[in-house]
Homo-oligomer: A and B are copies of this chain.
C-alpha cells in the first residue's frame, strides 16, 4: 500500500465547482489537536493557532483542513499539520485510523455544537504528538503552547470559533487530563 497524494488535483476543482459541491454534500475534513508529550506519553502542552478570520477577527484554532481526492486520511493530517506548524514539526500521526471522535460542522447553527457557515463538513478528529520545531505558517499568526490546565481556562476556550472549544475539551477528556 502506498500513499498517493494529489495536492495538485485540488487545482482541478475550480472555486465555483467547490462552492457548488459545498452546497450539496458533506465535505470530509480532519481536525488535529497538536500536543507535546513527555517520555511517559503524558501530555504537557496543547498547541493552538492564532488566525485572522475572514471577518478580520483574531481567533484561536485547531489544525483543520479538507481531505483531497485520492488522498489518504493520514496524509491529509500530516499535510495540514506541516502547512500550519512548519516542515520541521515532526508530527507523530497515530498508527491506528480510528479517530477519537468525529465533529459534524453544520451550516445551520445549533444542529450540533459545531458550526461552519460555508459548508456541511464532517471531520475526523485526532490527537497528534509533535516532536519537532514548530513555527506558524501561512495565515497562522502564532502558535501557542498551553499547559493542559491553562488551555481549559474559559478565556482561552472563548477564543476558539465554530465550536472547536467543544472539540478541544473532548480531546482533553479523551486524554484523561
Name A residues whose Cβ lies closer than 8 Å to a Cβ of B.
Answer: 1-4, 9, 12-13, 17, 20-21, 23-28, 35, 37, 40-43, 66-75, 78, 92-102, 104, 106-108, 110-113, 120, 122, 124, 127, 129, 169-170, 172-176
Task: Tell me the bound Cα distance from A75 to B176 in angstroms.
Answer: 15
Contact across chains for B129 and A95 when beta carbons are under 8 A apart: yes
A75 nearest in chain B by CB position: B40
Establish whether residues A41 and B174, one from each chain, have CB atoms under 8 Å apart when the complex forms. no
Looking at the complex, which one of B41, B97, B98, B107 makes contact with A74 (CB distance below 8 Å)? B41
One of B3, B92, B174, B176 near A92 (C-beta < 8 A): B92
CB-based contact B110/A1 at 8 Å: yes
